[in-house]
Structure 1
Amino acid sequence: MKLNYVNFGQYRMMLANKRILFSFMYFSITAVLSYLGYLHISELRLIESNLFLDSAPSVFAVPIASYICFGLVKEDKKRTALYCTSGLVIYEYLQILIPKRTFDPMDILFTGVGFILTVSLVLVYEKLSECIWERPKKNA
């Protein structure tokens, strides 16, 4: 029987690849779910218009924008989500100056809810990642 030994460098590379794949899968799935939620709310807005449905897509804009930035920026994910949220709030204020666009304070409120949702999903990711990748400590 031939045993296949892997040196420490190969093991670390394999582990890093698995972590990257896990991160990609987690954030891809949650981004797709956010996008599906956005599409569903958008369809409901065509049927009926009210204050909640008009601003609800802003909740899903933050996770989608943040997940795109997570792939571009190797910083703290919560800080990156805060920057994306700030950008969306600034864009909402800039709509005052853009013709045929309207400023809606409810969009800012729902963007804040989207930030809370994004940070919650990041915390779940960190907890899952910690459970999966941390080695169990041996009792002495």
Structure 2
Amino acid sequence: MAYSQSIEPVRGAKVIELTTTLSDTAMYKTIGRILVDEGYTFKADKERLNFQTGERLTPNLPGFRYIAILAIHQGKIKITGLMLKPMPSKPRRKAVREKGKPVAYQTSRDDRLGLVFNQLDELAHALTVPMVTSITGYSKR
């Protein structure tokens, strides 16, 4: 009898990798539905089979926001994210496009990037379906 091992993130991981038995097109549609179910807004690119969520507030980090980026290619889904700084208290005259900081898994209790990574990990778990889609790894690139 075989038992599946739980896969845990490694310190510094920036990418959550999933594998699916669905076609890329079917997974694209599935991810769109799951993002809606999970309360995300998003932009989708049907040709490139990727998604970028709208900004979302990070629980337990007042003012900090993040976006998730999901890409599908040959039965694999990669999830990465960017953490955005808190909104300035005074509105700026000119809109500034913020690049964000890549999210990485950290183990210190007060690490902001680690808290955002946990949100991405929750999203990855929402995408898993037994015998169809599973988390296969965490990587630093």
For the aligned pair, the TM-score class normalised by the smaller chain equals 0.3 to 0.5
Return the TM-score normalized by structure 1: 0.37
Structure with the larger RCO, 1 or 2 (CA within 8 Å, 6+ apart): 2
- Who wins on radius of gyration, i.e. which is larger? 1
